[in-house]
Structure 1
Amino acid sequence: MSQAFSYKSYHTPVYRKALEIFKLSRAMAVHFTQDKHVLEMGFSACPKDRYAGDLVNESLLLAPGVASVATAKNYGSRLERIRKIRKASKSLKTLCRNLEFSGVRESEFLGLLKKEIHLFDTMIADWIQQLRKA
């Protein structure tokens, strides 16, 4: 039963939005850092590179987090996993702000990512309401 439920979680709009955020974050980080690898970003002397690397790492937590909420055995476990997703989302917003202050010229990309994160937060809230009813 949990495998079937797990399979369904990969087709939810929330999961797909989490993947979109990761792909967008990764593309932006590559662009901002002149095609550095994520590991190189973390060790860079440039704050912009480190923020970009952190952006990729934080966005990578969203999709597995959504899948783990969908497959959680009890309500307490779900709440803890949802808390971690929300924490990652908040961190992404902070990293976007840090990138803006670090001198990223392509602010329209950051605006797009912030909009997607906001939409994700709304989708998570709606999804949580559906899970409570189920």
Structure 2
Amino acid sequence: MKAYQLPVYKKALEIFKISSAVSSYFSDNRHVIEMELSSVPAHNYAGRLVTESLQLAPGIASVVTARTKELRLKRIEKIRKAAKRIKSNCRNIEITGIKETEFLDLLRREILHFEHLISDWIHQNQKN
């Protein structure tokens, strides 16, 4: 199966779209580079949401194309770390005093679902 056909890949794309929308909302529609350079902590964390979520779908594709099991496991670990950093950035945005947390809660739920899809995908591949 091609990477783009996998449910986990599709979920990674959804997470990127949600992260982009959340980041845009919390940073007053700033560009990612502007978010990183901003003196406002919420903008910095919002920019990091985008950059971390941008790694997920290509990461899935790289797992699919990996030649060895060791390489696949390394790449999966990188994906899991990126997902963990997304959750951490959501928490950090909240700590800055943002009141509208429902968007962050949505993103967290999607990350949780993504993590379950990753686990299911790994178990399915181990059977094959």
Bigger shift: residues 37-46 or 102-111: 102-111
Aligned to 1:53: 47
Tell me the distance in 2 between the aligned counterparts of 1:117 and 1:30: 18
State the secondary structure of the residue aligned to 1:73. Answer: coil
TM-score norm. by structure 2 comes to 0.98
Give 1:104 shift: 1.6
Aligned to 1:65: 59
- Aligned positions of 1:87-126 closer than 5 A: 87-126=81-120
- Aligned positions of 1:26-37 closer than 5 A: 26-37=20-31
Runs of 4+ residues over 2 Å off in structure 1: none
Total equivalences in the alignment: 128
State the secondary structure of the residue aligned to 2:98. Answer: coil
Tell me the distance in 1 between the aligned counterparts of 2:116 and 2:31: 31
| Residues 35-83 of structure 1, C-alpha deviations (whole Å, 9 max, x = no match) | 1000000000000000000010000000000111011101000000001
State the secondary structure of the residue aligned to 1:35. Answer: coil
Give 1:103 shift: 1.4
RMSD: 0.7
State the secondary structure of the residue aligned to 2:10. Answer: helix
Give 1:116 shift: 0.3
Q: Which runs of 5+ in 2 are unaligned?
A: none
Give 1:132 shift: 1.1
| Residues 65-107 of structure 1, C-alpha deviations (whole Å, 9 max, x = no match) | 0111011101000000001000001111100100111112210
Aligned amino acid, residue 84 of structure 2: K
Q: Which runs of 5+ in 1 are unaligned?
A: none
TM-score norm. by structure 1 comes to 0.93
Tell me the distance in 2 between the aligned counterparts of 1:103 and 1:19: 28
